Structure 1
Amino acid sequence: MFNFNVDFSGEFFAFFLLAICAIIGAVMAINFTKVVHIVVSLAFTFIALAGLYILLNAEFVAFVQVLLYVGAVTILMIFGIMMTKHDGEGKEPARPLLETLAAIGCLCLFGILFYAIRNADFPPASENTLPLDNTRAIGLELFSRYAVPFELISVLLTVAFIGAVALAKREEDPQ
């Protein structure tokens, strides 16, 4: 059951390092109490995930990950923190029973996933499933086959942005 045949290449070490960074960033985001520290650790996790996408030869997805999540979402969270008041931040009481049950649940989930992945029958990987330039292929599909949904989503996001600005202005007016 535990027959590990791993070739220790540079790609393996890069994957291991990026996976550890993603896990550490996620655990830090859960454990920090200051919201700014949580956002920075989430940005660290997003960057590690982008590195994992690059290892999977998904450069476009890695670029979008950095552009949208690390850039836009993290900045949006920081602006949200700056615009809200944080007067009553207090420390939660420790709950050892809850933490113990959560740790047991995590270990059980890890065991189930480990067992399922080790016993899974994956099909063999074929060599020519992805195009050589996947960013170009995504762009061609996006602007030829999916041009109308792409434009509809851009209109929807613009309307949502205008609505958010209108709601923010309405809350400012009652002075």
Structure 2
Amino acid sequence: MLNFNIDFTGEFVAFFILSVCAIIGAVMAINFTKVVHTALSIAFTFVAIAGLYVLLEAEFLAFVQVLLYVGAITILMIFGIMMTKHDSEGQEPSRPLLEALAAIGCICLFGILFYSIRNANFSPQDVFIADENTRLIGMHLFTKYAIPFELISVLLTVAFIGAIALAKREEGAE
């Protein structure tokens, strides 16, 4: 049932380290009380997930993960934090019973998932993996999907201008 024949290759070690970093970053994001620390730990999690994409040979997804999530979303969160007021940040009271029940639930979920994955039979499949997947995605994006790509860029520009207009209106109201 519990067969632990694991080859400790470099890929396994990198996967283990990146997975632990992603989990630690997510747990830190949940537990921090300061919003800036939460945003930075989310960025740490996003970088670890990008590393996992590189291990899966999905370089384009790793690049997009770093560019969009680590760069844009995290900076957007920090700008949102800076533009809002946080004068009355209160500390929530600790709930030891709730925390203990949550820990027990997490351990049970881990056990169920571990048991299910260890007993699953995954059949090997023939999958075509392109040598230059980033080039192929770029070719599809700028030929077959050029119009939706441009529409998304216009939509994002309009949303950005709208956010600036809302921020200016709130600033003038004070």
TM-score computed with the length of structure 1 as normaliser: 0.92
Note the C-alpha offset of 1:125.
4.2
Between the aligned partners of 1:163 and 1:80, the Cα distance in structure 2 is 14
Q: What residue number does 2:132 align with?
A: 133
Between the aligned partners of 1:24 and 1:108, the Cα distance in structure 2 is 19
Identical pairs, percent: 75
165-174 or 23-32: bigger deviation: 165-174
Q: What residue number does 2:148 align with?
A: 149
Between the aligned partners of 1:149 and 1:122, the Cα distance in structure 2 is 36
Structure 2, unpaired ranges of 5+ = none
Between the aligned partners of 2:137 and 2:4, the Cα distance in structure 1 is 36
Written as runs of structure 1 = structure 2, the 5 A alignment for 1:107-118 is: 107-118=107-118
**Correspondence 1:41 to 2:64:** no
Between the aligned partners of 2:145 and 2:115, the Cα distance in structure 1 is 39
AA partner of residue 143 (structure 1): F
Between the aligned partners of 2:39 and 2:134, the Cα distance in structure 1 is 29
Q: What residue number does 1:77 align with?
A: 77
Note the C-alpha offset of 1:103.
0.9
Between the aligned partners of 1:83 and 1:170, the Cα distance in structure 2 is 13
Question: How many aligned positions are there?
Answer: 174
Between the aligned partners of 2:123 and 2:149, the Cα distance in structure 1 is 33
Structure 1, unpaired ranges of 5+ = none
AA partner of residue 47 (structure 2): I
Between the aligned partners of 2:48 and 2:35, the Cα distance in structure 1 is 20
Written as runs of structure 1 = structure 2, the 5 A alignment for 1:23-102 is: 23-102=23-102
Between the aligned partners of 2:20 and 2:58, the Cα distance in structure 1 is 20
Q: Deviations over 1:93-142 (max 9, x none)?
A: 0101111111121112212222222222222043x511001110111111
Note the C-alpha offset of 1:174.
2.8
Between the aligned partners of 2:173 and 2:3, the Cα distance in structure 1 is 68
